[in-house]
Amino acid sequence: MPIMQDRFAYRLCHDYLTFANDEPPFTACDAVAISQLAAGSPSLLKDYYMPAFEAVARGLQLRHADVAFKMLTLKWVPESHPLLRLDTLEVVALWHLTQLRKAAMSMLRFDSGALLGDHWLRSDLYRDRSYQPGLQAVQAWREASDAHIASGVTLVDQAVCGMLGWDTGSTVTLRALRSQFGYPDPGPAREKWLDSF
């Protein structure tokens, strides 16, 4: 599953700010991922994530993408919307999917090594504490869950696309997104993100 691994390594886990040399084509699932990053990164919303979403939406011809973006970023959550053909219960389900995705991404990004890898936990003062087996168990569980969590995020993205009526089989290359559809240069956004630490 190299394409999936590349996608998570270079897109999801790097906030779509770093791309691989052999970047696989984008799908509607990438539009969902970018919208979720936009919701969590207000400082990069207008300069990077919104134009990135719009470029992917144009490249894949995603229907009613502007309305969907507002819903997915929780800027505006209607009880229903005729353009998206979603009733109230479906909008609620869509919201729950975005919350599940957010939790899964938190798990995916969590540094399990911090549980046991920090120097203070390895020092004589803490090394023999009674909670160490518990920390080790959590670390082992977290590390064993990586692949399942990554697959779960993909499943959530596909489910969201299905509810929005977006075809996940259509693809567009990053080169085409940049040259034809105005995908923004991630460099300035990456620098801004790095400066925030």
pTM given for the model: 0.85
Instruction: Express each pLDDT in 87-102 by its tens digit.
Output: 878 888 888 999 999 9
Q: Is the pLDDT assigned to residue 4 strictly greater than 60? A: no
Structural domain spans, the chain? 2-195
Tell me the residue type at 67. V
- Region 39-50 average pLDDT: 91
Residue 80 confidence class, pLDDT cut points 50, 70, 90:
low
* Strands (E) located in the chain: none
Residues in the chain: 197
Residue in 99, 98, 105, 95 with CA at minimum distance from that of residue 149: 105
pLDDT at 1: 45
Give yes or no for a contact between 15 and 41, defined as CB atoms under 8 angstroms apart: yes
